[in-house]
Amino acid sequence: MHRRPGSTPRDGLRRTGRLDPAAVTAARKAPPAKPVSPDPDLVLLGEFGRPHGLHGEVRLKSFTGEPLAIAGYGPLQGPDGRSFELLDARSAPGGAPDILLVRVKDVSDRTAAEALNRLTLAIPRDRLGEPAEDEFFLTDLIGAAAVDADGTNLGTIVAVPNYGGGDLLEIRPAQGGPTALLPFTKAFVPSLDLAERRVVVAPPEDLFAPPGDKPADDPG
C-alpha cells in the first residue's frame, strides 16, 4: 500500500520517498512503463526478466516497497492464471534496488527460466486487505489523469517508477510527445482523487520541454 504524498509511510506495496525539489523533471526518455494489470481485482507485484546462469535463477523486477518482500506474499499469479512460488530471492549484484535474482518452484534450468521472461506476477486485491483512509495501491495511480489546479488535463500517468531517490510519476502529455517524470511528493502532487481517477499536480513550466542541446564543452 502507499500513503498520500507528505504522510508517514508504512510498509506496503510501495513506500513514498522524497526527491530534492530541484531535481531535473523535464521531458526525458524514460524506461519502459510498468505493465498494468487488465484485471482490477489483481495488484501487480513484479515482472520476470532474463534468466541468470544455468540452474533456473531468473531476474525479477519487484514493485513492492521493500523489494525482497515480494517473496513473502505466497503464490503469485501469472497473466495466464498459472501460480508461481518464489523459493528464494536476493538482490541482483550491481543492479537497481528493485531488481532481484529469484528461484521459482519447478524451474530448475535456463530453458525453463527463459520461458518466464516478461511474465507479470500479481496477487488478488482481497489478499492485501483494505487500505487505510490515507493509503492506496500504487497500481491505482496508473491510467489516472494528471490535471493542474484549474482542472486542465495535462496528461496520463503511465507508470510510477522508483530509481532509488523516491517515487516518480511518469506522465504522458495530453498533446503527445515523450513522457516526463515528476517527483511524487506533496510539493508536486498536492492532492489525489482516485475515485475520479484524477491526480492534481503542480509541475514546473518546463515539465514537457524537450531536452536542450548539450553545451559545447560537455564531454558527454
Length of the chain: 220
Q: Decide if 43 contacts 13 (C-beta within 8 A).
A: yes
Residues 27 and 49 in one domain: no
Residues 25 and 58 in one domain: no
Q: Could you tell me if residue 214 is inside a domain?
A: no
- Cell 525479477 -> residue: 60
Helix and strand numbers (H, E) in the chain are: 1, 15
196 lies in which domain range? 2-33+142-200
Q: What is the pLDDT of residues 83-106, one digit of tens each?
A: 999 999 999 998 688 899 999 999
Q: Could you tell me if residue 177 is inside a domain?
A: yes
Instruction: Give me the pLDDT at residue 3, please.
Output: 56
What is the CATH number for 74?
Answer: 2.40.30.60
Residues 119 and 174 in one domain: no
Residues 120 and 152 in one domain: no
Low-confidence ranges of the chain (pLDDT < 70): 1-40, 95, 132-134, 211-220
Among 72, 99, 128, the domain boundary falls at 128
If DSSP codes are grouped into helix, strand and coil, which group holds residue 91? strand
Instruction: Give me the pLDDT at residue 104, please.
Output: 97
Instruction: Give me the pLDDT at residue 96, please.
Output: 81
Beta bridge partner(s), residue 80:
none
Residues 51 and 123 in one domain: yes
**pTM confidence score:** 0.61
Q: Could you tell me if residue 213 is inside a domain?
A: no
Q: Could you tell me if residue 133 is inside a domain?
A: no
Instruction: Give me the pLDDT at residue 94, please.
Output: 82
What is the CATH number for 149?
Answer: 2.30.30
Instruction: Give me the pLDDT at residue 217, please.
Output: 52
Instruction: Give me the pLDDT at residue 33, please.
Output: 46
Q: What is the pLDDT of residues 53-73, one digit of tens each?
A: 999 999 999 988 789 999 999
Paired sense of beta strands 135-136 and 83-84, if any: unpaired
Residues 78 and 115 in one domain: yes
Distance of CA 204 to the CA centre of its chain: 22
Q: Could you tell me if residue 209 is inside a domain?
A: no
Instruction: Give me the pLDDT at residue 66, please.
Output: 85
Residues 70 and 22 in one domain: no
Residues 67 and 22 in one domain: no
The number of folded domains in the chain is 2
Q: What distance in Å separates the CA atoms of residue 192 and residue 198, rounded to the nearest whole number?
A: 6
Region for residue 118 given its phi and psi (left: phi exceeds 0; alpha: psi -120 to 50; beta: otherwise): left
Residues 24 and 93 in one domain: no
Q: Could you tell me if residue 216 is inside a domain?
A: no
